[in-house]
Amino acid sequence: MAATTKKVLGIVLAGGEGKRLMPLTLDRAKPAVPFGGHYRLIDFALSNLMNSGLRQVVVLTQYKSHSLDRHISTLWRMSGLFNSYVTSVPAQQRLGKRWYLGSADAILQSLNLIYDEKPDYVVVVGADHVYRMDFEQMIDAHIASGADCTVAAIRQPIGLANQFGVIDVDPEDPATIREFLEKPAAPQGLPDSPGEVLASMGNYVFTTEALIEAVRADGENTESNHDMGGDIVPYFVGRGSAGVYDMKNNDVPGSTSRDRYYWRDVGTIESYFDAHQDLISVLPVFNLYNDEWPIFSRQDNMPPAKFTRDARGTLSTVIDSIVSLGSVISGAHIERSVLGARSSVESGAMLTDSIVFEQSRIAAGATVRRAIVDKSAIVEPGASIGVDAELDRSRGFTVTETGITVVGKGVRVTRD
């Protein structure tokens, strides 16, 4: 394939604050937020790049990056042979004493990484989306098209267009972007499917010299928001050199008809919660068990999960759920939930429609419904979460409009 003969640098944008995921991002960067029991959100982007054959990858970090940096340095450490690496790069203030002003400015301030590596092409991806994608196929399509910029896009119902950055294509040349529309109210449908639009996935392939020229020009534009999707892509659209890569053409090994085109932006508590629900059905909407395109993550030395009767002989029941290594379930009921590593759910406790992070304890007789419980939290014996929204709010917990209660890291929930 064409991509294998070209040098490609991967850049993962991991510097956002993640305000909409508070309080999960109170003490960690958004890409470091746990997902699916023992993954971190960034593992999906990095796994896709690794499975696609990219071996030079930099992760641009900024806010609250300690746990993210530690995760990358311990899990994603590579041998260094053949110039292979995944490394985190903090904001370096090379252009003045300032933080990144946006994703395009992050690349502008990190151009030294591109100069050092001298790639032919640069793949730029976000760090907080859940999906599978073979970037080698996209790179090949970019090279064949002759475009300077190619945007990955996934088909979405036209009724959801106001939730995405939408790519308006030229009806005469559907591979060319005619306009980039930010959350449009009434866009046109696709030429071959009037009921659908192409939503940007936040993944891009650039010809290197064109990317350098674009971010330099953007850096001099005082009216720019310095955003990849909002400013850099329109720059290439205006020059007639922006193409679109339709995800329907991406064939990931081991994918099923149910999860082949799965992609979620988990930037809000609601979308984060819903993405977990996509994992746990008998035929999951997103399949974590695809061995042909694995999602890599930390593999700690822990015992298996354990399910026992309690002292009274009550059986544990676990239905449509994920239970991570090192966890102990004793005479409790768990349903439609995801439990992180080294956590416990004790006698008579009820855990339903919930996400529990690692090292947390749901004590005897406690009830947790439609909730997210952060790392090392304790729900004390007989206490409840998610049963009374007003009570949860009065205790200082975040409760979303859809009734999801979020308990912060290390919080102790007492019985009322």
**Domain edges within the chain:** 2-277, 306-413
Which residues have a Cβ under 8 Å from the Cβ of 56 and sit 6 or more positions away?
Answer: 8, 9, 10, 83, 84, 85, 117, 119
Whether 2-277 shares its CATH topology with 306-413 is answered no
Could you tell me the two tokens for 236? 């290439």
Q: Note down pLDDT in tens along the chain; length 416 residues.
A: 444 478 999 999 987 777 889 999 998 989 999 999 989 999 999 999 999 999 999 999 988 888 888 888 888 877 666 678 888 888 777 666 777 888 899 999 999 999 999 999 999 999 989 999 999 999 999 999 999 999 999 999 999 898 888 999 888 888 889 988 888 888 888 888 889 999 999 999 999 999 999 999 999 998 889 989 889 999 999 999 999 999 999 999 999 888 889 999 998 999 999 999 999 988 889 999 999 999 998 777 899 999 999 889 889 999 999 999 999 999 999 999 999 999 999 999 999 999 999 999 999 999 999 999 999 999 999 999 999 999 999 999 999 999 999 999 999 999 87
Q: Are 165 and 177 in contact (CB under 8 A)?
A: no
Could you tell me the two tokens for 278? 């996509």
Nearest alpha carbon to residue 157 among 129, 192, 185, 199? 199
* C-alpha to C-alpha distance for 128 and 359, rounded to whole angstroms: 23
Which residues are annotated as part of the binding site for alpha-D-glucose 1-phosphate? Answer: 100, 165, 182-183, 200
Residue 223 class from Cβ within 10 Å (0-12 exposed, 13-18 middle, 19+ buried)?
A: exposed
Long-range contacts of 279-285 (CB under 8 A, 24+ apart): 279/36, 279/322, 279/338, 280/320, 280/321, 280/322, 280/336, 280/337, 280/338, 281/320, 282/320, 283/258, 284/258, 284/259, 285/258, 285/259
Q: DSSP for 50-87, please give it.
A: HHTT--EEEEEE-TT-HHHHHHHHHHS----GGG-EEE
Tell the CATH superfamily of the 306-413 domain: Hexapeptide repeat proteins (2.160.10.10)
* C-alpha to C-alpha distance for 375 and 291, rounded to whole angstroms: 28
Number of other residues whose CB lies within 10 A of the CB of residue 377? 22
Look up the CATH architecture of domain 2-277. Answer: Alpha-Beta Complex (3.90)
Which residues are annotated as part of the binding site? Answer: 100, 165, 182-183, 200
Q: Are 174 and 196 in contact (CB under 8 A)?
A: no
pTM: 0.92
